[in-house]
Structure 1
Amino acid sequence: MKRNLKKPILYLIFSGIFSTATYAQTAKSNVIQDNKLPELLKLKSEMTVNNELADRYKIQLFYGQITEANKVQKDYNSSFSEWEPKIVYESPNYKVWVGNFRDRLDADRALLKIKEKFPSAFVMKPER
């Protein structure tokens, strides 16, 4: 008779343990989000699309006055179409930057081609 009672008692004990364990696994999460978060995420995605946050290499062709920077940009556009030039103002000079290279090796390969026309060009990594 003792043997017949052991099985139901063990069954009740194990079923009680597992039922409380599964009940203990339910939880609620309440996230409080700042109102500016969606706006900041949108701004970050725009900056990422424009490569303003990217940690990339560029080739600098020129720095100096705006009139000469425009001439260099026009001259570059007539010779190359692979990488888009951009005029950037950093006080007190205007700089002509070319490309947006993920690694130094790609930038150096492009520099070899560009140096044929612009011997003073060099690879740089702009600070943010």
Structure 2
Amino acid sequence: MNILSFKNLLFGTSLCLSCVAFGQEETQKINISQSDMINELSLTKTKLQKSHNIGDRYVIQLFSGPNGDASNKIKDYEALYEYPARIKYEAPNYKVWIGNFRNRLEADRALLVIKETYPSAFIPKPERK
């Protein structure tokens, strides 16, 4: 009886191994093709992110006032923090904006750190584009 079960075990093992080998052979034949439009889309998104033209992003506003004061404020800020900063003109004032945060949670976390140095900083409501 042991010999019979050993033969069955040997047969079952060889059958499983052949199935695995056959399955691996089939997976090597898979061909994935990608459209050229995906690369274009990726480049366009990267360009929009760098130019801050993607809507519904959150920023932190440090300052609003004349251009000279805004320039001084951004220089002081860049010496202390790593978040990207920019000056945006909205008539009649220049505004110093920090970051380009995807969601309110990220902006709130950064605001807690920045408020230690700039207590009047706040998060304005994002514009819809």
Is the shorter-chain TM-score for this pair beyond 0.5, marking a shared fold?
yes
Structure 1's unaligned 5+ residue stretches are 1-40
Structure 1 residue aligned with 2:117: 117
Structure 2 residue aligned with 1:50: 51
* AA matched with 2:113: K
> Runs of 4 or more off by more than 3 Å in structure 1?
44-49
CA distance, structure 2, for counterparts of residue 80 and residue 121 of structure 1: 14
Q: CA RMSD in A?
A: 2.0
Seq. identity, %: 52
TM-score normalised by L of structure 2: 0.60
TM-score normalised by L of structure 1: 0.60
1:79-98 matched pairs, under 5 angstroms: 79-81=80-82, 83-98=83-98
CA distance, structure 1, for counterparts of residue 66 and residue 77 of structure 2: 16
Name the SS for the 1:120 alignment partner: coil
CA distance, structure 2, for counterparts of residue 97 and residue 65 of structure 1: 14
Q: 1:49 to 1:122 in 2, by over 3 A?
A: same
Whichever of the two has the greater Rg, that structure is: 1
CA positional deviation for 1:60: 0.1
Contact 1:59 1:124 in 2 (8 A): yes
